[in-house]
């Protein structure tokens, strides 16, 4: 005989303490009483849990593993296992809102048969269940990522346009989120307006990050090879990792995995002293590098004597994310080029941004051309005073 509860036993549930705090806060703001807060907390818990079970049970039915986490702003269903077709992904995502809407229907149905005072705890709980699940189902189906509506939009657009559809969906999600934020603020719903404003910025960042995405980034073979290469690198199997990262670059040609594999490869090559090879690798994708990748390219450019290139990279880095590392390399480059004022300016920036042991750095022979300059002498005094303060 089939055990009806066996699918539930395959799904672990983890509840973060912040979830209870937020659920209780919602209850208190909605009821203003201890009893009402308790009822609200239980209903929020059950509603979110049943919604997530809608996702998780469907994933298990399709052969995946699922884990539910109840976090600050709701629930998350983590899935692993076989990659599914888009129509199965659509059903998994859709079954969350359907589960919540079924709760609304059941609560509304029971309210028609159970009459009583609004102060009755059971009636009160049913009304809250119906209202909360109806409202949340509608909001959750808005085409804003990471709400279920945004994920459904992404699946549909990917099915129509392929990888380009994901980028279109994120862009539309950003626009719709901004519109929702504007409408909520117009009606003085500050919390909801602020939430959708935050989602607008998150969607903008996701959309911008998705622009380099290519079909190869979703290739299971390349993804599997990338995970193995990362694992080998973490275990110190650098020769295997180098071979695997090179193979990923060859298979992918471009895209996010190609760029990330290049950064990992260059980092390992640099550790092995193969600076020229690492520099040549990073130069190929210099327009797609992360901040850390660009900083490594700047360091390698300096080491290879490509001083102007290193300065240009440093300018870009410092403009986006000021830090003493890029400022110091720029100072070294300008000093070696005999450009006193820019070198001192960048040294000053490096010190202001927390350059450790500035006196020791200023004693480097690369800065000999600056030693007789009055501004450099002032930097030495500043470094001495900061060192004494420590």
DSSP string, 329-384: HHHHHHHHTT-HHHHHHHHHHHHHTT-SSHHHHHTSGGGGGGTT-HHHHHHHHHHH
Determine phi and psi for 96, rounding to 5 degrees.
Answer: -65, -60
Q: Model confidence at 2, in pLDDT bands (50, 70, 90)? A: very low
Q: What is the pLDDT of residues 260-313, one digit of tens each?
A: 999 999 999 999 999 999 999 999 998 889 999 999 999 999 999 999 999 999
Q: What pLDDT shows up at residue 45?
A: 92
Average pLDDT, the chain: 89
Retrieve residue 379's tokens: 């930097």
pLDDT score at 213: 81
Furthest-apart CA atoms within the chain: distance in Å:
93
Q: Which helix (H) or strand (E) holds 37?
A: helix 34-61
pLDDT digits (tens, 9 = 90+) for 37-86: 899 999 999 999 999 999 999 999 998 889 999 987 788 898 888 888 89
For residues 328-365, b (16+ Cβ closer than 10 Å) or e, as one string?
bbbbbbbbbeebbeebbbbbbbbbeeebeebeebbeee
Tens of pLDDT, residues 117-138: 666 778 888 999 999 999 999 9
Rounded Cα–Cα distance for residues 38 and 33 (Å)? 9
Q: Looking at the predicted structure, is the pLDDT value of residue 390 above 70?
A: no
Please report which confidence band the pLDDT of residue 9 belongs to, taking 50, 70 and 90 as the band edges: low
Q: What's the CA gap between 199 and 205, in Å, rounded?
A: 10
DSSP output for 38-49:
HHHHHHHHHHHH
How confident is the model over 139-152, as pLDDT tens digits?
A: 999 999 989 999 99
Q: What is the DSSP letter of 85?
A: P
What percent of the residues of the chain are helix, what percent strand, and what percent coil, each to the nearest 5? 75, 5, 20
- Once rounded to an integer, what is the mean pLDDT over residues 320-329? 94
């Amino acid at each position: 005989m089939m055990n009806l509860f066996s699918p539930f036993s395959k799904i672990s549930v983890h509840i973060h303490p912040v979830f209870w705090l937020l659920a209780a806060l919602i209850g208190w703001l909605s009821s203003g009483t201890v009893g009402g807060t308790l009822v609200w907390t239980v209903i929020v818990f059950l509603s979110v849990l049943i919604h997530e079970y809608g996702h998780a049970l469907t994933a298990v039915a399709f052969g995946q593993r699922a884990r539910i986490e109840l976090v600050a702003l709701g629930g998350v269903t983590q899935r692993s296992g076989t990659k599914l077709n888009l129509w199965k992904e659509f059903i998994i995502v859709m079954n969350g809102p359907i589960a919540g809407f079924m709760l609304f229907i059941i609560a509304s149905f029971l309210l028609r048969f159970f009459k009583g005072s609004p102060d009755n705890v059971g009636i009160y709980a049913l009304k809250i269940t119906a209202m909360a699940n109806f409202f949340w189902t509608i909001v959750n189906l808005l085409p804003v990522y990471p709400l279920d509506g945004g994920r459904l939009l992404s699946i549909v657009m990917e099915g129509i346009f392929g990888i380009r559809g994901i980028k279109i969906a994120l862009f539309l999600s950003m626009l719709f989120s901004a519109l929702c934020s504007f409408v909520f603020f117009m009606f003085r719903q500050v919390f909801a307006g602020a939430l959708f404003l935050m989602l607008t910025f998150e969607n903008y960042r996701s959309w911008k990050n998705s622009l380099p995405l290519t079909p190869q980034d979703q290739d299971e073979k390349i993804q599997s090879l990338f995970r193995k290469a990362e694992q080998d690198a973490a275990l110190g199997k650098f020769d295997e990792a180098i071979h695997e990262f090179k193979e990923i670059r060859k298979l992918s040609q471009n895209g996010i995995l190609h760029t990330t594999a290049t950064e990992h490869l260059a980092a390992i090559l640099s550790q092995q002293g193969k600076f020229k090879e690492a520099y040549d690798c990073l130069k190929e994708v210099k327009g797609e590098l992360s901040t850390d990748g660009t900083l490594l390219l700047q360091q390698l450019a300096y080491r290879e004597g490509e001083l102007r290139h290193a300065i240009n990279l440093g300018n870009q880095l410092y403009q986006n994310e000021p830090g003493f590392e890029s400022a110091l390399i720029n100072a070294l480059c300008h000093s070696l080029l005999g450009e006193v004022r820019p070198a001192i300016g960048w040294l000053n920036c490096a010190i202001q941004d927390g350059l450790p042991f500035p006196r020791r750095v200023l004693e480097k022979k690369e800065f000999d051309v600056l030693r007789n300059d009055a501004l450099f002498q002032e930097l030495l005094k500043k470094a001495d005073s900061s060192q004494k303060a420590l």
